[in-house]
Amino acid sequence: MDTDKVSVIIPVFNSGPELSKAIESVITQEYSHIELIVIDGGSTDGTIDVLKKYQSYIHYCISERDEGIYDAMNKGASAATGTWLLFLGADDELCPKVISDIFSSFSLVDTDLVYGKVIIKNKRKQLGQQTNYGKLIGLNIPHQAIFYRKSVFQKFSGYNQRYKILADYDLNLKIFEDSSIHKIYIDKTISLFSGDGISKRTIDYAFFSEKKEYLINHCKVLRTDKRMAKYYFFIGVTLVLKQKYKVGALSILHAIIFSKKRFYYFSLTVDFILGMVGIRKKYKYV
């Protein structure tokens, strides 16, 4: 009930114009136990001016160079004094009253993770549903829809910074694989999610290649399982970008053949090819 402190952590880098909306969405929540933390990566635009404008509402703020978004998020989690952590992008927004709606209405004493839904701003599309480890293999939960109990976040040592784009996916898979962790799905939209970040056309090769091997060898997921299509596709794209054309093309073809969404992956393949010849924006990998 209305006693658990929620730490909302916003990592930011050169996102001054968008940051104001994100902060406003936090400070207007009708919940008395919110801690706002902003971790700036050393912005050189108007971000610092925005932070000064809202400094009376921000409980903890640093501005220094970091090793990327997950480094900033881990810093924020370390500084947080709340029972719960929520990570909000600088161009995202919390839905009105959502924190009070959840934490003043539900008993979460034995709960370790609370998750709901997001709306993708540029598509006006809702994303999120009740899930489990098996379903999560195929579709992640955006971190903007998740409240992590801080002790659970610490149990897994936070975000693994080896994964530059999908460390949040990695953490979610670990949490949902652990049956001792109590998760609750609440049918509410938590936030408005930008969907225009670095991950849009950047492939986290380490994540996809390592998770593919783990799922096949440890979890005994079949290579032809429809959930594996995205792993094969993005591994294949990366291999082509690395000029390993034959093995990369075979991996992409595997994704198209065994996917539940064959036309989707065929379209992505066409888009990738158009990017390689300069007609569309190119994919890249980290």
Quick one: pLDDT at residue 106?
83
**Domains of the chain, earliest start first:** 6-198 (3.90.550.10), 201-285 (no CATH)
Burial class (CB within 10 angstroms; exposed 0-12, middle 13-18, buried 19+) of 235: buried
Distance CA 73, CA 85 (A): 10
- Taking only the tens place, the pLDDT of each residue in 122-161 is 777 888 899 999 999 999 999 999 999 999 999 999 999 9
Q: Report yes or no: 149 and 82 within 8 Å, Cβ to Cβ.
A: no
What percentage of the chain reaches a pLDDT higher than 70?
A: 98
- Residue 243 is encoded by which pair of tokens? 């000029």
Residue 229 has pLDDT above 50, yes or no: yes
- Per-residue pLDDT, 197: 58
As a whole number, mean pLDDT of residues 110-129 equals 90
Does the pTM surpass 0.85? The reply is: yes
